[in-house]
Every structure is written in structure tokens, then in C-alpha cells.
Amino acid sequence: MDSHMLDCSWRDLAKLLDDNGGAVFIAHSDRFKANVAALREAFESRYRNIGIGYSYKTNHLPKLCIAADELGLYAEVVSGTEFEIALALGVTGERILFNGPVKANSELKAAFAHGALVNVDSLSEARQVAELASEQKRAVKVGLRCNLDLTWKDRESRFGLSETSGELDEAWRILNAVESISIEGLHCHTSFDRSAKSYGKRIAKLIEIADRLFNEEAPRFLDIGGGLCGPMSAELREQFATPPPTFEEYAESICDPIVRRYGADGPELILEPGVGLLGNVFDYAYRVEHVKKIGSKFFAVTSGASHHIKIVPNTFNLPTSLLKSPETGGTGRVGANVDIAGYTCLEHDVIYRDFAQALARGDILVSKSVGAYSMVSSPDFIRTSPPVFERSGSEWKELRKKQSTISYLSQFNW
């Protein structure tokens, strides 16, 4: 077992899987808190005014959302649903950042009423916000999401207000003309390039735009968005074409330009690192159900599924540990270089290619670094989405129930 392996036996996990449909997510809230502390230390050692947004779209497990609020993080939401989740969990409106490309009138009115910050994504949304804000008696706080012209490897992001097309300036003009609106800062986000160097370019461009729009007065905030890489095992790091940056490398690249322009305590620098804070916070446990050999290739068919943990198709093999079943007695073990497949009827449902160790029916596999976009994106496809547990001493604490067939069917009318 490696240093991040669960402190439990095969029998502990076997019972958990038996009771919960064969696959479970396992949360590690201590890792999340450690990641927040490491991110803060890296940035606050270089720049004092740091804010961190917790990305609800990346993982809205209530225990983690509450922990984020207790740690002083903003709730970063991209829908009315996520906004309501944050309020229901006790987050005050002033601690909510409302992002995303589509916001209904009712959602915007709720955001205004609770004092949330709304980052405007398009020119038509600027008009929508201006019209609604004109009816408000209290100040409406907004930011502008900027579409930065930084030649993202010949790709165009569809998000934000473009400076080159003139829509950014027009949105500024429309919003600035409404007395109740306070334009507080600038936002940007893209995951096209996760290098530390690219983040230095982003903050430099935001500072340039801020100097022009705010007449060289400091905005209240500059939001660099997310997309940052976070702590990961050597096994996963080695699969990247270039080494993923550390928090310290990101902090140096981002903070140096802002310190040069504003000193050590200028506008609030907001970070929204979903994957960076959450990637290593979940594991995924599942069981080998069958093993087979087809031609010269070995396959293991499991109770897991790739769509639970590989929301965005990629070629990465997530670090995966094996707990051998004591019940096989060494019989039926096949491999090595086994393709680990899921329970679905889809050819592409492969969780891990060329697993080095031989496998047998009853073995348990634990895939790591699945905390981002897994639980929130898993569909009820063939089987309902897995539950979430956390290990507490020698016991399992259920953090999200597996939806039963009856509760699933209750959503339908017939």
C-alpha cells in the first residue's frame, strides 16, 4: 500500500461494496483542508490580499462546502441551483461569487438581494443585469469576465467579454451608466493552458485592462479563475507532457506582476482552483467481477465505470491500488497488463489500460485523484450514481446515500 492508501482491510471494503452496489466514492476532507492551507501559504507569503473561491461545480459535497466556508473561502457558483445550495448550507450572500454564462432573471434578482458578486459573461448579460439592477434599491456588485486575447494554442474560448471585439468596453459603458451598479473588478478563467507562465500573462493582461477601465485606480478585486494543478502522486505527475506546476510556482508567476503594480497589499487577488484543491480529495473503490483473456489480451470486468471518474475523456491512468481477495487462494488470477473495464455495455468503458498486476475475481481496486467533476457529473446510467463515504477511525460515515430504485423512479410520472 502507498502512503495515500486507506487504512482498512480488504474485508472492510468488501462489505462496504456489498452494501452499496459495488462502487463507492471515498472522501478525505483532511486532504482538502491541507490543500487549502498549502495554497494560502504559497500565495500569502508573496501577496497579502488573497481570496479563494470554492468551486461548487467541481464538487458540491455538503461536508466540503461547509468546510470551505468555515475556512473563509468564497462559494463560487455557476447556477441558481448551486446558489441555493450555498445559501441552504449557511453561506451568506456576501461570500458568494456568481459566475457562469447563463443566469435567469430570478437567479440574478436573488443574487442582488443577498449581496452576492455577479461576474458578467456577455454583452447581452450586461444589458440584462443593467435592466434588473435599475429596479434595485441596494448596490449591485458586479465584475466583468474578460476574454483575454492570449492565443491559446490557436483555440478560442467562448467565455467572457472580448476586448478585441469591443464588447468588453461596451459592457463597461452599459453597466457603469446604472447608478445602483458597482463594477468592482475583473475576472478571467480558461483551462486551455495550465502552465505557471500562462497565469503570469493573464494577470498582467488583467492589470493592463484594469488600468484602462478604472482610470489607473485599483479595482477592488482581480480574479484569475481556476485551472491550477494541485497536489498529485508521482505516478500521475509523470504522465503529463510537461511537469504540472506547484502552488509555489503559480504563486510566483501570478503575484510578481500584481506586486510590481500595486505593492504587497493592493486589490484582492481571487483564485478559484477547483481541480487544484479537490483532485486528490476523493478515491473510488470498486471490485473485480470477472477476468478473461481474449486473444493475447487480458481484461478485468469490474463493478466500477469510467463515466464515474473520467468525465473528460483522457489517456491518463489514474493511480490505482490493488487489494487482493483472500478468498481466491491464488486461483483464477490473470495478467499482467490487464485492461480494467467497467460494468456498462460500452466498448470505451475502460478505467485503466495495461494494469501491471495480475487480477482475480473478488479483488478490490481503489483509483485515486477522482475528487474533481466525478460525484457531481456521474449520471444514473445503467446503475444509479455511487454513494460517498468517509473513513472515521474504524467506521464508515455515509456522506451521500446511493439513490434507490424507488427514489429514482419517484422522479417520473407514468
Q: Are residues 221 and 315 in the same domain?
A: no
Domain residue limits at 331: 10-27+282-409
Per residue in 247-262, pLDDT (tens digit) is: 999 999 999 999 999 9
Flag whether 149 is in a domain: yes
Place of cell 438581494: 113
Q: Are residues 259 and 314 in the same domain?
A: no
Q: Pick from 242, 261, 279: which residue ends a domain? A: 279
Flag whether 3 is in a domain: no
Q: Are residues 33 and 20 in the same domain?
A: no
pTM of the entire predicted model: 0.94
CATH of the domain at 128: 3.20.20.10
Flag whether 274 is in a domain: yes
CB 282 within 8 A of CB 32: no
Q: Are residues 355 and 390 in the same domain?
A: yes
Flag whether 84 is in a domain: yes
CA dihedral 239, 242, 248, 253 (to 10 degrees): -150
Q: Pick from 256, 279, 302: which residue ends a domain? A: 279
CATH of the domain at 338: 2.40.37.10
CA-based end-to-end distance of the chain? 50
Q: Are residues 287 and 241 in the same domain?
A: no
Q: Are residues 162 and 19 in the same domain?
A: no
Q: Pick from 279, 303, 319: which residue ends a domain? A: 279
Q: Are residues 193 and 323 in the same domain?
A: no
Number of domains in the chain: 2
Flag whether 2 is in a domain: no
Q: Are residues 20 and 124 in the same domain?
A: no
Burial class (CB in 10 A: 0-12, 13-18, 19+), 186: buried
DSSP state of 387: -
pLDDT beneath 70: ranges in the chain:
1-6, 151-155, 313, 329-331
Strand partners, 359: 334
Q: Are residues 341 and 404 in the same domain?
A: yes
